[in-house]
Structure 1
Amino acid sequence: MTREEKFSIFHQLHKQEMAFVMPNPWNAGTTRLMAQAGFEALATTSAGCAVSAGLRDGAAAVTRKMLLDNAAEIVGATELPVSADLEDGFGVSPEICAETIVAAAEVGLVGGSIEDATGGPDGGVHDIELAADRVRAAAEAAQGRHFLLTARAENYLWGRPDLADTIARLQAFEAAGADVLYAPGLPDLAAIRTVCSELSKPVNVVMGLRPPFYTVEELSAAGVTRVSVGGSLMRVAYGAVQSALDGILEGRFDYDSMAMPGGTLMDMMRDAPRERT
């Protein structure tokens, strides 16, 4: 399937009446697992990329090359459309954000998000005018590249629980050309409903990170178009391994109840390339 065909599928998913779920694999193996579970699109997770490299997330530790190499691995493991968490665009200037979108399209991605967080270790978000300029440059770069741009307002992840400012930012991003709007960490369904009512373009929400949790039906009724799960599945996997290790340290090896049968797992993978040198 061509990237253009994947983009068409991805674009159409955003026009459905019911919200669709886009889980977040962090390598080729988890991509195979999630693709065969029956989902219609996938998204990368910067947290998963960071942790897979033994790095902390959220401290600008992942480089653009690392993230795009990880995304290329995920794209190469499935025929499903893949969107990417492109963090802060890997630079403050609008020009760098545009370069990141071009590079993302070149590795086969059909979408990606740019956030208004500063990307620095001390956190914070960019001034709304600069943030909108960054989205505008990214949107212009996405034009003609079969790429759906998501713009993220990060207030609630950085200790700024200001719903009015969050909506103002999302509206500015919408006007700047973003195709999808996203404010991770909204506190409840009422806030989600308010955000959706104030925007005319599709809205993404994240579930699985922390309560409260809502069903796809509840989110759809609130106006949500797309649901992602961020790094939560990665944390589930690491949690299962940690639980098994705790048991081993106590002299127990009864963690097999949590394990997928080997044959089932291998059936989900693909054969290795014939050339192995």
Structure 2
Amino acid sequence: MRVLGADTRSWTYGDPDGGPIVFVHGFRGDHHGLDGIARALSESMPELRIHVPDLPGFGDSPAIPSRTHDLSLFGEWLREYAQTVAPHARTILGHSFGSLVVASALKSGLTAARTILINPISSPALKGPQAALTQAAILYYRAADALPEPAARALLGNKLIVRGMSEVMAKTGDRELRKWIHDQHEQYFSRFVDSSTLLEAFRASVSHTVPEFAGALTMPVLLIAGEKDDITPLAHQLDLQRMLPNAQLQIFPDTGHLVHYEAVPDAILEIRSFLRRTEEQAA
């Protein structure tokens, strides 16, 4: 569909006439990252209609023409997209960078009956346990920004670097699951339109936190966090929960920033319980 003057590619799961829920994936990924949760949730709750778009400039969605892909732009895009596919009683889910996009959209006027944030970005990127790696990533993206487009794409999509990112984020000890996670990142972690859009999105991802938008998260909110998340330490997820008037926090042990890969069954149980409980409370 056309959103902000560009085509947004989107995938739909479940009942075409069901209750709408919009999923927003994380930085550098595309809809494939949330495919497992979308499929499992649609099987568990077939009454839902789940929309999973590719963010502008990622996957099969082109960049928004003549716009800087900062967090404000992504929030504006989500607001228009969500209002089109789910005009009423929508639920919004965001993972990682997607949590920032969701929070920005809610701050700028998007309404939601309930919100689900998986591995939300609740602390500054340069203050977490992997602050040194974040600083290295900033230098990495700056180096790419100085290169011509072919060389920049080669650096940004370097398989060894992507594998290193994957190794850092994966916490599971299951060898087959780790192998699958690495394969997912190899296939889908570099499907960006161009290096400049990716760099703009990276700056957005490390320049904001969900707590900046806490005032907009007044609806029922489910926070799902990994105990071993290196991107946002658990203490900051607890701080975020305390900021929100109607939030619950579910912590998954032995899981990091990849709840959407490492803990899908557990996530589905929590999401289903949250959706049914809040629907009953609203009735």
TM class by shorter chain equals 0.3 to 0.5
Counting helix residues as a fraction of each chain, which structure ranks higher? 2
Give the TM-score normalised by structure 2: 0.33
Answer with 1 or 2: which has the greater Rg: 1
TM-score, normalisation: structure 1: 0.34
Bigger relative contact order (CA 8 A; separation at least 6): 2
Structure 1 or 2: larger strand share?
A: 2
